[in-house]
Amino acid sequence: MPSTSFELQPSPLWKHFEQILKIPHGSGSEKALGEHVLAYAKSLNLSASKDKVGNIIVRKPATPGREKAAGVVLQGHLDMVNEKNSNVAHDFAKDPITTEIKDGWMHARGTTLGADNGIGVAASLAVMEDASLVHGPLEFLFTVDEETGLTGARSIQPGALQGKYLLNLDSEEEGTYTIGCSGGGDSEIAFPLKRKASRLENAYRLKISGLRGGHSGLDITQGRANALKLLARLLTLAAARVPFELLKIEGGNKRNAIPREAWADFLLDPAKIPAFQAVLEKTGADIRFEYGSVEKAFQGRLEEIPRKKTDAPLTPASQESLVAFLNACPHGVLRMHPEIAGLAETSTNLALIRCAKAKAEVICSSRSPIGPALEAARSMIKSLAGLAGAKIRQPEAYPGWAPNLQSPLLQTMKDVYKKTFSKDAAVVAVHAGLECGIIGQKFPGMDMISLGPTITHPHSPEEGVDIASVADFWKLLTAALRDLA
């Protein structure tokens, strides 16, 4: 960090952030940063402990006279995402992050900065240190491995925290409070496939490509197309006109991504190609009409592929049930949140399919902040799998954080924001998993909110933090601690 950092305000927070930048702390390698936090807390004579996965908890007594106030937990994660540009020589295992400041923003030089969640951690350390603040009993929770598996949050022992309120410091927009997140659960469907002999000599591939895809939670309200749904729709329409014999269907990449590409391989009499093409052209035009404004690069293409002697097509019954399952399988938003505009409450993503000789595997991932709604979505998929003669496995879901617009903490935080900045804070929830979902389940009744400075492009070398927003974040945080006491 250039020496100008010492002039940044508030200086204690930036001083701690500067130290954090010197200690490598990618996900899974947070040990040194955890030790740093532990040693710092002990140097302030605060009680501090580390659990078996490396989470750190520190306790700071209330300002004299505020001992009876409700306890507040300040929480952030120790780990960062290590990403760099390919032309940058940087060893995340030992090199410090170097920074530059331009136009009011701090960036790293060609790597992620780790403002996510280094600023939150630095703010906690600055609160620990500052004897001039007014506050009730405080606990500080520093978790490990948020970015790759929420492992730290999952491992916290019930009873480890006493606070009534939790301020998560991992939001990325100053002036916006986050008050909810989705839980999620997958469905893994296994189809038995039966195959038969065939006299057909020619093999073809129908491929859907050019779609935008995106995150299965954050982008689910964008109205984008799912390549697997378009493919199943085309195959269903084609099957009514042309007797093709399906070899396999493949598509999608990750459980948490909307499929961008999908393809089906099949055998077909070349004399029937014009009829197949006609279905493809008509349906392709329909799809462009429906999705034209959002999926400008959509393509549906038929091409001949080598016919392997070993390829055996599915029996008509196997083919029908597989295509019908994909065609009927729900995808997209199932319910919008009734009180928070624009927020998907419950959704499901038909994520991917892989075909082997005797088995096809399909994965759906569903989300909701509300446990029973999530299970209802998964139960639809289970019923459908039953109808299609498939087996299904539904691993235990991870919990969400249901937005509570009547939360007393939210009311106080809104008041504090208005008093401090003479304007209203925005209130949002996200349709993706956050640590608060996991933590809330372990401490029933804990009232939680998430806040932070403005950070753009986290998890990429473009990551930047708006320096002025850090000062506002600090002002808000310290005013909130005072008012909550």
- Residues of this chain that interact with Zn ion (CB under 5 A) are 116-117, 170
To which residue do tokens 């004897």 refer?
131
CB of 74 to Zn ion, least distance (A): 14
Residue 435's identity, in one-letter code, is E
Alpha helix locations (H) across 24-150?
A: 31-43, 115-129, 146-149
Least distance (Å) from Zn ion to the CB of residue 77? 6
Q: Exposure of 131 by Cβ count < 10 A (0-12 exposed, 13-18 middle, 19+ buried)? A: exposed
Nearest CA among 365, 75, 27 for reference residue 215: 365
- Strands 391-393 and 203-209 turn out to be unpaired
Structure tokens at 288: 């462009």
Q: How far is the CB of 79 from Zn ion (least distance, A)?
A: 8
CB closer to Zn ion out of 99 and 117? 117
List the catalytic residue out of 116, 146, 265, 447: 146
Minimum CB distance to Zn ion, residue 146 (Å): 6
Task: Using the minimum distance from each CB to Zn ion, give the nearer residue, 129 or 170.
Answer: 170
Closest distance to Zn ion from the beta carbon of 465 (Å): 12
Cβ nearer to Zn ion, comparing 117 with 256: 117
How far apart are the C-alpha atoms of 158 and 355, rounded to whole Å? 42
User: Does 79 participate in catalysis according to the annotation?
Assistant: yes
CB of 376 to Zn ion, least distance (A): 30
Measured from the CB atom, is 252 or 433 closer to Zn ion? 433
- Rounded CA separation 71/89 (Å): 45
Is residue 36 within 8 Å of residue 140, measured between CB atoms? no
Complex with Zn ion: residue 116 or 250, whichever CB lies closer = 116
* Nearer of residues 170 and 245 to Zn ion, judged by Cβ: 170
Residue 244 CA to residue 255 CA, distance in Å, equals 30
DSSP code of residue 235: H
Yes or no: say if 18 and 5 are a contact pair by the CB < 8 Å rule: yes
Phi, psi (degrees; rounded to nearest 5) at 81: -85, 125
Q: Could you tell me which residues come within 8 angstroms of residue 275 by beta carbon, excluding any fewer than 6 positions away?
A: 241, 242
Please identify, using beta-carbon distances, which residue of 169 and 268 lies nearer to Zn ion.
Answer: 169
Minimum Å gap between C-beta 438 and Zn ion is: 14
Query: What does the DSSP 8-state code read for residue 216?
Result: T
Query: Toward Zn ion, which CB reaches closer, 117 or 469?
Result: 117
Least Å from the CB of residue 120 to Zn ion? 8
CB atoms within 10 A of CB 240: 7
State the catalytic residue, choosing from 18, 30, 79, 250: 79
Active site residue 447: no
Residue with tokens 């139960």: 379
Q: What is the dihedral of CA 456, 123, 10, 40, to 10 degrees?
A: -130
3-state helix, strand, coil split of the chain in percent (to 5) is 35, 25, 40
What DSSP string runs through 124-176? HHHHHH-TT---SSEEEEEES-HHHH-HHHHHPPTTS---SEEEE---SSTTE
Q: Which helix (H) or strand (E) holds 417?
A: helix 408-421
Please list the active-site residues.
79, 146
